[in-house]
Structure 1
Amino acid sequence: MRYDEAFANAKYIPDGDTYPPRWSAKAAAFRAAAGGRLGLRYGPAEAEWFDLFLPEGDPAGLMVFVHGGYWLDFSPRDFSHLAAGAVARGWAVAMPAYTLAPAARIAGIVRQVAAAVTAAAAGIAGPIVITGHSAGGHLSARMACPDTLPDALAGRVARIVPISPLTDLRPLRETSMNADLRIDAAEARAESPALLPRRAGLPVHVWVGGGERPAFLDQARRLGNAWACPVTIDAGKHHFDVIEGLEVGESPLMTALLG
């Protein structure tokens, strides 16, 4: 298909196929050390749950991380270790699961993530920051649009930082993945953050690796241009290591998220 190579990542990253098992191992080690409240429900469907990791003492606020995988792969438990930086800063971290394609369409996944944010926020006081990577970057960016979160909850959102986000879904219709994603023209228009308005007054900061595939740099810049929001190009980072800053409380990425 026309854009298959444009959105391929692992084959263009040295030892790219080793990253998912390393993520999974680090995530399991983090859960073993940090504990957490696992498998909290936000709805009746099998995948409608989230894990919550808590700091010592009262949380300063809530960070929500949405995992990627082109809406087709992975689980939040492949990325539990990415809660480490925020927990070290005194924040609670929610990591929601969602129904993967082809069992779900992207519009339905967006609704699930909004429900997960709502449920997690009900149990944690204070400000909310939302982030996510790749397809999770798309889902986190959708939370900045006026049609997702309830107004009262959106008023608590201090910042959204989509990492390497997919922001214009139209090219994905011309990939082999679309056999499972089933994105049609109407859904591409309705679910592309770069083609939608941002909720007034909600700060957004796009983050992307400087060594990413050109398509991902383009997708990040499209959202920055559409929403007139900052785009940080993290020099030397590729699509798989750009998220590592979430593990370190004082990293530039965590500073962009939490201040």
Structure 2
Amino acid sequence: MDWNDAYANAPHIPNGADFPDQWRADADVFRGKMSVLGRARLGVMYGHGTREVVDLFLPDRTPKGIFVFVHGGFWRQTDGSLWSHFAQGALDNGWVVAMPTYDLCPRVRISDITRQVANAITVVAREFEGPIRLAGHSAGGHLVSRMLDPGILPGDVLTRVAKSVPISPLSDLRPLLKTLMNQDFKMDETAAAAESPVLMDAPSIPVTVWVGAEERPVFLDQAKWLADAWGCERIVDPGKHHFDIINGLIKADSPLMQSILQGAS
């Protein structure tokens, strides 16, 4: 099996290489609009590094709580700003949206990124009240899953987490040891196991694993492994691939957005 190809998405998605440019264009328009409205706080520092920043988007009413979206990119690419427009659905439902950026491999290890995301969530939680709902895409799905491991988030923050939705998550990092990407990750078996949500105790917090039916087989496997390990709900979204699976975040009433906000008043 060619493990590098197995975890490659863009070559197997029609016009896959065009998605980042479209995301950037849509994100820039959204960021400009929200800034003009006075509802964007961009680049809020949560640490000392230049990438330890979080973008905050504010609803047009008293917030119901905090929605955190953690971006993907195999822990090696992109930043939170690229995905800004995906805040729209949660904003329309009345939630503050926090989108953290973090350092990338090989400059740091995946375990360092886990700690950075926890720090970002903690800083935002100290400023805004209410429940916290988490979602993350791909590597971001891994990161929001890791947040549910006791000791990663402060106890008073973890108790506020009401729902987590890992989207197309990487849940078992051990297969990635077989890819060339591990030259950047610099993981061994012990490090990969330590950062694998499938090996964590199942959290008591409600979790729904969301994955596209048209995703690469390894991503369907990764989603199933996490749902099986945690005994949680798994939704296979018909017709969706790895890049358009997150489109539901833009619409307030989409099945994905409603799953994230399930039980919220």
- TM-score (normalised: structure 2): 0.96
Aligned amino acid, residue 138 of structure 1: H
Which residue of structure 2 aligns with residue 118 of structure 1? 122
Among 110, 117, 139, the alignment partner of 1:106 is: 110
User: Quick check: 1:152 aligned with 2:135?
Assistant: no
Shift of 1:76: 0.6
Structure 2: runs of 5 or more not aligned: none
Query: For the residues of structure 2 that align with 1:2 and 1:181, how far apart are their CA atoms?
Result: 18
Deviation readout 1:68-122 (Å, 9 max, x if unpaired): 0000000111100010000011100000010001101000000000000000111
Query: Does the aligned pair in 1 maintain the 2:73–2:139 contact within 8 Å?
Result: yes
Aligned amino acid, residue 123 of structure 1: E
Shift of 1:2: 4.0
Which residue of structure 2 aligns with residue 193 of structure 1? 197
Query: For the residues of structure 1 that align with 2:230 and 2:15, how far apart are their CA atoms?
Result: 35
Shift of 1:150: 1.3
Give 4+ residue runs of structure 1 displaced > 3 Å after superposition: none
Deviation readout 1:156-209 (Å, 9 max, x if unpaired): 00000000000000010111111111121111110000111133x211110000
Which residue of structure 2 aligns with residue 215 of structure 1? 218
Query: For the residues of structure 2 that align with 1:2 and 1:179, how far apart are their CA atoms?
Result: 16
Structure 1: runs of 5 or more not aligned: none
Among 171, 174, 180, the alignment partner of 1:170 is: 174
Query: Does the aligned pair in 1 maintain the 2:202–2:231 contact within 8 Å?
Result: no
Aligned amino acid, residue 212 of structure 2: G
Query: For the residues of structure 2 that align with 1:251 and 1:123, how far apart are their CA atoms?
Result: 28
Aligned amino acid, residue 3 of structure 1: W
Deviation readout 1:11-40 (Å, 9 max, x if unpaired): 000000000000011011111111200111
Which residue of structure 2 aligns with residue 248 of structure 1? 251
Query: For the residues of structure 1 that align with 2:108 and 2:24, how far apart are their CA atoms?
Result: 24
Query: For the residues of structure 2 that align with 1:183 and 1:214, how far apart are their CA atoms?
Result: 23
Query: Does the aligned pair in 1 maintain the 2:198–2:229 contact within 8 Å?
Result: yes
User: Quick check: 1:232 aligned with 2:235?
Assistant: yes
Deviation readout 1:230-253 (Å, 9 max, x if unpaired): 000001000000000000000000
Query: Does the aligned pair in 2 maintain the 1:7–1:213 contact within 8 Å?
Result: yes
Query: Does the aligned pair in 1 maintain the 2:74–2:138 contact within 8 Å?
Result: yes
Aligned amino acid, residue 156 of structure 1: R
Aligned amino acid, residue 62 of structure 1: I
What SS class does the counterpart of residue 162 from structure 1 fall into?
A: strand
Which residue of structure 2 aligns with residue 25 of structure 1? 25
Query: For the residues of structure 2 that align with 1:252 and 1:34, how far apart are their CA atoms?
Result: 25
Query: For the residues of structure 2 that align with 1:252 and 1:8, how far apart are their CA atoms?
Result: 27
- TM-score (normalised: structure 1): 0.98
Deviation readout 1:108-144 (Å, 9 max, x if unpaired): 0000000000001111110100111000010011111
What SS class does the counterpart of residue 241 from structure 2 fall into?
A: coil
What SS class does the counterpart of residue 246 from structure 2 fall into?
A: helix
Aligned amino acid, residue 4 of structure 2: D
What SS class does the counterpart of residue 80 from structure 1 fall into?
A: helix
Query: Does the aligned pair in 2 maintain the 1:2–1:174 contact within 8 Å?
Result: no
Shift of 1:151: 1.3
Among 91, 97, 100, the alignment partner of 2:95 is: 91
Which residue of structure 2 aligns with residue 37 of structure 1? 41
TM-align CA RMSD:
0.9
Which residue of structure 2 aligns with residue 179 of structure 1? 183
